[in-house]
Amino acid sequence: MTWEPVIGLEIHVHLKTRTKMFCRCPVAYFEPPNTQTCPVCLAFPGSLPVPNRKAVEWTVLLGLGLGCEIAEHAVFHRKNYFYPDNPKGYQISQYDEPLCVNGRVPVPGADGDMEVGIVRAHLEEDAAKTVHVGGAEGRIHGSESSLVDFNRAGTPLVEIVTAPDLRSSEDAKRFLQLLRQTVVELGISDAEMEKGSLRFDVNVSVREAGEAALRTRTELKNMNSFNFAAKGIEREIKRQIGIYEAGGEVEQETLHFDPGNESAPPLRSKEEAQDYRYFPEPDLVPLEPQREMVERLRRELREPPWARIRRLEAEVGFTLAEGLVTGGRDELYSRTPGEREAVANVLMNELAAAGVDPAAVNGEELGKVIERRAEIPRAAFDEALAASGSGGFSAERYLAETAIADVGELDPVIDRILSENEQQVEAYRGGKDGLLGFFVGQVMKETGGKANPQVVNERLREKLNA
């Protein structure tokens, strides 16, 4: 029997506004616990919320960027639930009248585009942060106690809900990477998973190939890594298939994927809308975005990431184009002269490994270094990449160093290394071609990284194949 995964995502994005959603407390991530609070975000009796105008505008901007329709009339609702991280006992969110609906995002692939529907993008406030003490990796399972930091309570949060259009863990990962880059480029969030400003829940079900109906889904909660999400999805797909093939039924529940143990213990049975007892927030009037504001924001949109991937694909192929765009390096690529595939490879590999901010790099000077990289010592090339993001960077200093390309100078070094490694020489001649890299590395080490790698490769092949 062939099984088909069905995957939908709920993505939560912190907006990087200066203040919280319904009060004037600063949005702060690393301040001492419970120091960025006030009567509103702590839900003291008599305190009243006031919406953050910038958060509303940025949510509309995001909706436009995702191809959504912008509602003429949107309503805040109370979503009732009680957890220690929610002092009000309800969250101010949006329910059946959200700001943004019915969007579409094309996700480029090597074999064509896959379209992912955006059911809604709505604005709400985040809960507080629960810190689990003891146990493994700071997770709730196995912890000894939990503490609550209310600094995060009330942070503006956009929730993006996709249609169940994804069919594999790899599709989900690629969509999430594309969405993150879209959010960052719109300037509304830094979308850093390490600090929780981007996190997502994954809904997974499986069905027989060709089956039209959706089966029972489970939810993997609060994922904060693309790779962990892919692993969690793969594990859950296999688990559900195993249940069905054993004659069982999948239960609807929320799971907490633990990447360290490759496990997903259940947190609770999955709630439905009626469990939250939604009703309109009586302390807030409906939102009615002005059409002039919507059109002004529409004019601010730049070329979307998926369109740039397709444009660059003609120059460097799909894999490099996707990597450049989702890695935020295509703008630097566009202003770095040189052979296009060579530039793309350096940006995606060596420059990325050097940890240099692409926005700070002088593309013209970096292009000169890339063009002459075969003529300068590897150490000089690496040093140039590391310095390329600093003010006043110039290629001239590094290009002044010349790699050793003189065969008369290199041959004695190569001959000595081959004579000292007779066992590896015999193995190479016996078919282990991968040992060529070992010999190249030895020559580079002997010359302090100053040998020309191309010349070294050529001379080694000649001598080893003689």
Nearest CA-CA partner of 280 in 466, 10, 95: 95
| Residue tagged 């007779």 (tokens) | 422
For residue 332, give Cα distances in angstroms to 52, 131, 389, 422: 34, 39, 11, 46
DSSP of 238-261: HHHHHHHHTT-----EEE--BTTT
CA 159 to chain CA centroid, Å, is 16
Going by pLDDT thresholds of 50, 70 and 90, the confidence category of residue 84 is confident
Tell me the per-residue pLDDT of 391-404, one tens digit each, with 9 for 90 and over. 889 998 888 776 66
Task: Name the β-bridge partners of 120.
Answer: 101, 161
Radius of gyration in angstroms for the set of CA atoms belonging to the chain, rounded to a whole number: 27
Going by pLDDT thresholds of 50, 70 and 90, the confidence category of residue 435 is confident
Question: Which of the two residues, 50 and 433, has the higher pLDDT score?
Answer: 50
Q: Please, which contacts does 385-388 make with residues 24 or more away whose CB atoms are closer than 8 Å?
A: 385/346, 385/350, 385/351, 385/354, 385/356, 386/354, 386/356, 388/351, 388/354, 388/356, 388/361, 388/362
pLDDT score at 406: 64
Q: pTM to 2 decimals?
A: 0.84
How far apart CA 45 and CA 56 sit, in angstroms, is: 26
As a whole number, mean pLDDT of residues 439-444 equals 84
pLDDT score at 135: 67
In angstroms, the first-to-last Cα distance of the chain is 56
User: Do 309 and 74 form a contact (C-beta atoms < 8 A)?
Assistant: no
How far apart CA 188 and CA 185 sit, in angstroms, is: 8
Q: What are the helix and strand counts (H, E) for the chain?
A: 16, 14
Going by pLDDT thresholds of 50, 70 and 90, the confidence category of residue 320 is very high
User: Do 236 and 216 form a contact (C-beta atoms < 8 A)?
Assistant: no
How far apart CA 189 and CA 203 sit, in angstroms, is: 24
As a whole number, mean pLDDT of residues 310-336 equals 96
Tell me phi and psi for residue 424, to 5 degrees: -70, -35
pLDDT of 267 above 60 = no
User: Do 359 and 332 form a contact (C-beta atoms < 8 A)?
Assistant: yes
User: Do 206 and 215 form a contact (C-beta atoms < 8 A)?
Assistant: yes
As a whole number, mean pLDDT of residues 83-97 equals 92
How far apart CA 19 and CA 54 sit, in angstroms, is: 9
Going by pLDDT thresholds of 50, 70 and 90, the confidence category of residue 427 is confident
Q: What is the mean pLDDT of the chain?
A: 90
Going by pLDDT thresholds of 50, 70 and 90, the confidence category of residue 264 is low
pLDDT score at 120: 97
As a whole number, mean pLDDT of residues 201-217 equals 94
How far apart CA 391 and CA 388 sit, in angstroms, is: 8
Going by pLDDT thresholds of 50, 70 and 90, the confidence category of residue 376 is confident
pLDDT of 459 above 90 = no
How far apart CA 337 and CA 344 sit, in angstroms, is: 11
Sorted by sequence, the CB contacts under 8 Å of residue 237 that are 6+ apart come out as: 3, 5, 169, 204, 206
pLDDT score at 343: 97
pLDDT score at 458: 83
pLDDT score at 272: 62
pLDDT score at 262: 52
Tell me phi and psi for residue 265, to 5 degrees: -65, 145
Give the total residue count for the chain. 466
As a whole number, mean pLDDT of residues 407-425 equals 82
How far apart CA 54 and CA 16 sit, in angstroms, is: 10
How far apart CA 417 and CA 406 sit, in angstroms, is: 17
pLDDT score at 445: 84
Nearest CA-CA partner of 289 in 5, 87, 75: 75
Question: Which of the two residues, 357 and 376, has the higher pLDDT score?
Answer: 357
pLDDT score at 83: 81
pLDDT of 153 above 90 = yes
pLDDT of 285 above 80 = yes
| Residue tagged 């296999």 (tokens) | 238
Nearest CA-CA partner of 91 in 195, 192, 21, 24: 21
pLDDT of 405 above 70 = no
User: Do 351 and 388 form a contact (C-beta atoms < 8 A)?
Assistant: yes
The runs of H, that is alpha helices, within 265-354 are: 291-299, 305-316, 318-326, 330-334, 340-346, 352-354
User: Do 306 and 105 form a contact (C-beta atoms < 8 A)?
Assistant: yes
As a whole number, mean pLDDT of residues 283-294 equals 97
pLDDT score at 426: 84
Whole-number percent of the chain with pLDDT over 90: 68
Domains of the chain: 3-289 (no CATH), 305-399 (no CATH), 407-464 (1.10.10.410)
pLDDT score at 144: 83
User: Do 252 and 214 form a contact (C-beta atoms < 8 A)?
Assistant: no
pLDDT score at 365: 95
Tell me the per-residue pLDDT of 332-353, one tens digit each, with 9 for 90 and over. 999 999 999 999 999 999 999 9
As a whole number, mean pLDDT of residues 65-75 equals 98
pLDDT of 282 above 90 = yes
DSSP element (H, E) containing 79: strand 76-80
pLDDT of 271 above 70 = no
CA 272 to chain CA centroid, Å, is 28
Identity of the residue numbered 392: G
As a whole number, mean pLDDT of residues 384-394 equals 92
